[in-house]
Amino acid sequence: MKQDSRMAGNSVNLPHVTRRRSTLAFKFLIPFVLVLSVSVIAVTQYFQSISYFLRPLWDTPPKPFTRIPHYYAPNMSMPQLCQLHGWGILSSPRRVFDAVLFSNELDILEIRYRELFPYVDRFVILEANATFTGIPKSLSFFENLNRFAFASSKIVYDMLPIGDLDPDSRRMPFLVEAGHRRALNNLLKRSGIAVGDVLIMADADEIPSPETVQLLKWCDGIPPIMHLELKNYMYSFEFHVDQNSWRTTAHVFTERTKYQHSRQTDLMLADAGWHCSFCFREIKEFAFKMKAYSHADRVKHDIFLNADRIQRVICNGDNIFDMLPEEYTFSDLFKKMGPIPRSASAIHLPSYLIRNADSYRFLLPGGCLRPG
């Protein structure tokens, strides 16, 4: 009977125990759901930042380039310079063709053409009436031909109507960009380029130095394809990022040569020029490029396009898309986190820029303020 009473008592208390356990489980479930929800939102919102931060864990760095030493000193003859590089000298110079896709980089393009005019035989330039992201745009180069009248005898220009591209590709900026590059190949065929000429493939803001172009013109035995290592700048020549701009290439032209902007060889000529990215005169030009180029998906919020924010970013040397550096090791990642260090040096920059410093103060140390 006593045993039955104990059993009966226990059976009476079971519902209370069950309710207490359910309450405890529910109390633990609420924080779990909250943490899970916040985590999902955070990963969704900051996926790109998390991915870039963890890149050293999931991505493999590309094969290192074989860097060709670059020699130069004033008043040295071309036979001497070619010999220093292990190359011979041609009896007459090659022709050099400079091919770029153009969007709205008028100031940096003028610096490019003024700097290279004595050494380049043809400037091949293609612009479209819409951006890679499908935004209609004016034909900036065509509308400013008078500004480039000094080089008119060497310019081979064409306009690409964006409607001529495949309709499906207009929804994908990188496919549109590839379509532009194919159109530039067609323009090159009409430019008069011939086998044995040198073709420089670059974006408008990737500027080979005159010393580099002279080597390409005069030296016998240069590699048929080599990348050009450019000093990498952001917003102006005040913010030197690194030496890691490599996409510009020089080709000894053949019938199979195609315009590309990707890795094509392991060889790279060291210290061969300058790459000044987002180097614009006015704030509105920064906002336009942010929306226009193939990485426009990096504009995560409308505030990114705010003029005051863009001005603050330029003067601080911050990342205009509020992104982490794209690096393959944690040491390089941590080294480049934060603002780009300022440089007070304007030595070894394009000579046309320095000779016309009053017109281009915004590209030099101390000139970060831009009109709105």
What's the CATH code of the domain at 216?
Answer: 3.90.550
Please tell me the least confidently modeled range out of 64-68, 128-132, 176-180: 176-180
3-state secondary structure of 239: strand
Is 339 inside any structural domain?
Answer: no
| Tokens standing for residue 252 | 């000894």
Instruction: Work out the angle between the directed axes of helices 283-292 and 307-316 (0-180°, nearest 10).
Output: 100
**Domain with 175 in it:** 66-279
Is 250 inside any structural domain?
Answer: yes
| Tokens standing for residue 293 | 């180029």
Closest-CA residue to 106 (of 131, 129, 140): 140
Under 8 Å between Cβ of 198 and 252: yes
- Name the domain count of the chain: 1
For residue 31, the model assigns a pLDDT of 66
Q: Is the pLDDT of residue 20 over 70?
A: no
For residue 171, the model assigns a pLDDT of 58
- Per the listing, tokens 């180097």 go with 279
CA gap 100, 110 in Å, rounded: 13
Q: Is the pLDDT of residue 212 over 50?
A: yes
Torsion of CA 352, 104, 183, 201, to 10 degrees: 30
CA gap 56, 58 in Å, rounded: 6
> What confidence tier does 51 reach under pLDDT thresholds 50, 70, 90?
confident
Closest-CA residue to 287 (of 189, 371, 190, 179): 371
For residue 43, the model assigns a pLDDT of 45
Under 8 Å between Cβ of 160 and 128: yes
- Per the listing, tokens 């336009």 go with 288
- Summarize pLDDT for 221-277 with one digit per residue, the tens: 999 999 999 999 999 999 999 999 999 999 999 999 999 999 999 999 999 999 999
Is 31 inside any structural domain?
Answer: no
CA gap 196, 136 in Å, rounded: 38
Is 11 inside any structural domain?
Answer: no
- Summarize pLDDT for 97-148 with one digit per residue, the tens: 999 999 999 999 999 999 999 999 999 999 999 888 778 889 999 999 999 9
Is 266 inside any structural domain?
Answer: yes
Is 337 inside any structural domain?
Answer: no
Is 100 inside any structural domain?
Answer: yes
3-state secondary structure of 157: strand
Amino acid at 311: Q
Under 8 Å between Cβ of 324 and 52: yes
Query: Rounded to two decimals, what is the model's pTM?
Result: 0.85
Is 358 inside any structural domain?
Answer: no
